[in-house]
Structure 1
Amino acid sequence: MTGAAELSKHAQAAPVGWFGFATAHRASIASLVVLIFPLLLPFTALAVNILIYGLYALGFNLVFGYLGLLSFGHAALFGAGAYICGIAIVHFALPWYAAIALGILGGLLMALLIGALAIRTRGIYFAMVTMALSQCVYYLFYQAVNWTGGENGLRGVNVRTIDLFGLQLDFINPLTRYYVIAGFVIAAFFVLSRILASPFGAVIEAVRENESRARASGYDVTLTRLLTFVLSGGFCGLAGALQALHLSIVPIEIMHYETSGLVVMIALLGGMGTFFGPMVGAAVFLVLENLVSLRTVHWQLIVGVIFIVCVLFFPAGIWGTLIARGKR
């Protein structure tokens, strides 16, 4: 049997039992959770933030969890989607759907640019190169005051109504806003699930597990890394575009290295290399941030201690550890 046939068979074969059912229908199950999510939280704005940052972490996890590359430059992909979506609305008065499409394209192109320069490096060198390139992008957007607003951010990204097949939706309404954004997140679930279940998804994991063997099987490891990084940029660009519509402003801090560090923490907290882990990590982190910050201004210290405890007792992340125990 050829290497391609083996990988294809591996990608299509699902585990047996309840875990196999959950794996085969992971996008559908995740979508159902997203639909009922506003009922579980105290206010809708928090649920929207969890969706957006969960989607951002979902894109990052494609590189970090499934490919095995640690990137500290994903803020550039997230920010590029947000800024290009905002510029399309503010400076060119484009409709919301065209702005979102351009935001996704911006994330893809930014990932292609950064990936082409960084993808041949390994380990900590890849992390440092991506962070350096991301900071260069941050500086360029910071200096382009006429387009991005500089340190004041890009203001006026106002979308009040969503025209959907002749139906006017009030985007100002928090619940309507949530479900509009949830529609894009659910679509991203199914796209990502299809990628991971395809032969290409098996190749991604093969490169992570044994790069030399994947190369010996005839696969272009460098091209696989680059394509995966670009696909990750598409998901992050979509998250950035949705963030711009949600906030009606694009702050320059969205491209800062702290935004790259945040997504690493979310992925580790939820469970890298798991489908729903990024959403769990985003939910846990943002809920903790909101609850603890109401009690004390030193919330970062307390959340940091909780994060350390989670890492000690859930080494594969919260969701990753639960899955591992469920398999046993």
Structure 2
Amino acid sequence: MTALDPAAAPGLPEAASRRSPLAAGALSRWRAPASVAALALLPLVLPSQALAVNVLIYGLYATGYNLLYGYTGLLSFGHAAFFGTGAYATGIAIGAFGLHPLAAMALGIVLAGLLALAIGALSIRSRGIYFAMVTLALAQLVYYAALQASCWTGGENGLRGFTVARIGLGPVGLDILDPATKYAFVLACVAAALAAMSRILASPFGAVIEAIRENEARARACGFDVERTKLLAFVLSGLFCGLAGALSALHLSIVPLDSLAYPLSGTAVVMTLVGGAGTFFGPFLGALAVLVLEDSLSLWTSHWQLALGVVFILFVLFLPRGLGGAALALGRLAWRR
């Protein structure tokens, strides 16, 4: 029996095996294109292009976190480390070494993945709240390392002094100072990431991580290498968050130290839960809800975080499946009728 072959273990939890082949095939085939089509409409409905870009970036960040928490069942409080690493590595590569923006982004993604491998290897054997605390502690080490390495990171002032005005793609150049072009570029990156995420979730590996989420002991008894699978999920999650950080660096042309701070890890948790943990498009719904609330409430009060906290508590109490889960439940109910 191979470690990632769900067909070899008829005892897998029901959630990993109950989907009908027709429904699962249709869902995996269309969920990424449908999500991209919906995201393409954001500039038409949001008050600013910058807000629409932020929804894409933080939705992708929450999507990476959702792979670990929503699909694998591991609560991490350290994902800001991967977002910040992707952002800092991209900015330093462009500003200090003059790398092509796409090469700098690739470097940021790789370094975020390597950091995820290191943190995951140290924390993955912990369970429950202990796992969450270990990831938080290790992420704080990364934060303070960046704070001390001020010659590279800018310390408390963050990384500045790099601006990408144009991305050359052979004979074609993209003027990403133009808001519409920037949005199209970020959307293309998000579309590629969503296609990869959809493929991951539709693979045998995707079934195994859901089996681990539902019943880790049973998955282990069926012969799966649980630790290796969780570590791979952790690394993949870090890669997606690193891409989000790299896009944030290009978008803002600065990398604040807060990109590595623990409140940003909490932001991933909030966006995932509000949008719907374990749903494909839920993280983008959560990012949209949180960022629009932040944008609106900050005009009325400087204590907008308090109001956002109240909204989060209400979601946990009365809508635990989030916006995405509620939408799926309503869709199933309408289909039955």
Picking from 211, 219, 225, the partner of 1:214 is: 219
Alignment of 1:158-307 (within 5 A): 158-307=163-312
| Distance across 2 between alignment mates of 1:168 and 1:23 | 33
2:41 maps to 1:36: yes
| Distance across 1 between alignment mates of 2:170 and 2:285 | 33
| Distance across 2 between alignment mates of 1:31 and 1:6 | 34
Q: Displacement of 1:308 after TM fit? A: 2.3
Q: Displacement of 1:300 after TM fit? A: 1.8
| Distance across 1 between alignment mates of 2:25 and 2:196 | 19
Helix, strand or coil at the partner of 2:223: coil
Contact 1:160 1:172 in 2 (8 A): yes
Query: Structure 1 stretch 234-243 or stretch 27-36: which is displaced more?
Result: 27-36
1:54 corresponds to which residue?
A: 59
Helix, strand or coil at the partner of 1:162: strand
Is the alpha carbon distance of 1:52 and 1:190 closer, same or farther for their aligned partners in structure 2, counting shifts above 3 Å? same
Q: Displacement of 1:11 after TM fit? A: 9.0
| Distance across 2 between alignment mates of 1:254 and 1:219 | 36
Contact 2:78 2:138 in 1 (8 A): yes
2:7 corresponds to which residue?
A: 5
- How many residues are paired up? 326
Per-residue Cα deviation, 1:225-252 (whole angstroms, up to 9, x for no partner): 0000000010000000000111101111
Per-residue Cα deviation, 1:16-64 (whole angstroms, up to 9, x for no partner): 4xx9744541001001112222111111000000100000000000000
Contact 2:80 2:259 in 1 (8 A): yes
2:13 corresponds to which residue?
A: none
Paired residue type of 1:111: A
2:91 corresponds to which residue?
A: 86
2:323 maps to 1:318: yes
Contact 2:88 2:249 in 1 (8 A): yes
Helix, strand or coil at the partner of 1:250: coil
Is the alpha carbon distance of 1:20 and 1:227 closer, same or farther for their aligned partners in structure 2, counting shifts above 3 Å? closer
Query: Structure 1 stretch 298-307 or stretch 316-325: which is displaced more?
Result: 298-307
Per-residue Cα deviation, 1:117-142 (whole angstroms, up to 9, x for no partner): 00000000000000000000101111
Residue identity over aligned pairs, in percent, reads 57
Query: Which residues of structure 2 form unaligned runs of 5+?
Result: 11-15
Q: Displacement of 1:12 after TM fit? A: 8.1
2:153 maps to 1:148: yes
| Distance across 1 between alignment mates of 2:18 and 2:313 | 34
| Distance across 1 between alignment mates of 2:45 and 2:32 | 20
Is the alpha carbon distance of 1:201 and 1:22 closer, same or farther for their aligned partners in structure 2, counting shifts above 3 Å? closer
Paired residue type of 1:136: L
> TM-score when scaled to structure 2?
0.92
